Amino acid sequence: MSHHFIESLKWRYATKSFDTNKKVSAEDITTLKESINLTATSFGLQPFRVVVIDDPALKTKLRAASWNQAQVEESSHVFVFASKLDMSPDYIDDQVRRAADTRGIPYEALSGYGDFMKNTMADKDAAFIQDWSRRQAYIALGTLMAAAAELRIDACPMEGFDAAQYDEILGLKGKGLTAAVIAPVGYRSAEDKTQHAAKVRLPLEEMFL
């Protein structure tokens, strides 16, 4: 791993206040989207979708549903990770077909693996599926944070919001989704004192057993 990457991780912090005059470029937003889409997920099933919001009125609404945390409104864009509520055989089949098409191999060559995934999921209850989907979304959150840091774009990972209100505002339930975690992104405000605070982390010898 390059030194570079560790420098990026030291540069980033959970940004509390964004510069409202600065917007992330469309090109950089596309790069961030790509980083999320390239994230590894269990079975490659990508059991979440992401809503990217830059509409000011919508951000104001979401702030009210986020314990009034200013980041949500002041950021350039808000990434809302919405995890799947169920995992149907049809959904799995679509992914198997995509794999067959992408790799130019017959569907039949992959259907055994598809059946294995379907059987694995059929054994699980809704609570397990929802928890599992949420965990996959968090992996993507991590990738987004790292990609943003590499681009020197600020972000704040956030769980401090009301998922039911987000689901309502963004119409997620009807799509079989629920808001799992969010990340406002943008550029730090010069006034955000948090940027000067030293990182608080365990010593490596305590973290690694």
Ligand X SMILES: Cc1cc2nc3c(=O)[nH]c(=O)nc-3n(C[C@H](O)[C@H](O)[C@H](O)COP(=O)(O)O)c2cc1C
Using CB under 6 A, list all residues that contact ligand X.
13-14, 16, 69, 156-160, 181, 199
Question: Which of 46, 71 has the CB closer to ligand X?
Answer: 71
Question: Which of 110, 146 has the CB closer to ligand X?
Answer: 146
Question: Which of 157, 186 has the CB closer to ligand X?
Answer: 157
Rounded to the nearest whole angstrom, what is the least distance from the CB of residue 161 to ligand X in the complex? 7
What are the C-alpha distances in Å from 153 to residues 8, 18, 30, 128? 10, 11, 13, 34
Rounded to the nearest whole angstrom, what is the least distance from the CB of residue 165 to ligand X in the complex? 14
Rounded to the nearest whole angstrom, what is the least distance from the CB of residue 184 to ligand X in the complex? 10
Rounded to the nearest whole angstrom, what is the least distance from the CB of residue 92 to ligand X in the complex? 28
* Residues present in the chain in total: 209
**127, exposed or middle or buried, with CB in 10 Å at 0-12, 13-18, 19+?**
exposed
The answer to whether 73 and 180 are in contact (CB under 8 A) is no
Calpha distance 192→109 (Å, rounded): 55
What are the C-alpha distances in Å from 7 to residues 1, 2, 125, 152? 11, 9, 42, 11
Phi, psi for residue 186 in degrees, rounded to 5: 165, -145
Neighbours of 162 (CB within 10 A): 15
Instruction: Give, for 188, the enclosing helix (H) or strand (E).
Output: none
Question: Which of 20, 95 has the CB closer to ligand X?
Answer: 20
Residue nearest to ligand X (CB): 160
Question: Which of 121, 185 has the CB closer to ligand X?
Answer: 185
Rounded to the nearest whole angstrom, what is the least distance from the CB of residue 203 to ligand X in the complex? 16
Q: For the CA atoms of the chain, what is the radius of gyration? A: 19
Rounded to the nearest whole angstrom, what is the least distance from the CB of residue 205 to ligand X in the complex? 20
Question: Which of 117, 145 has the CB closer to ligand X?
Answer: 145
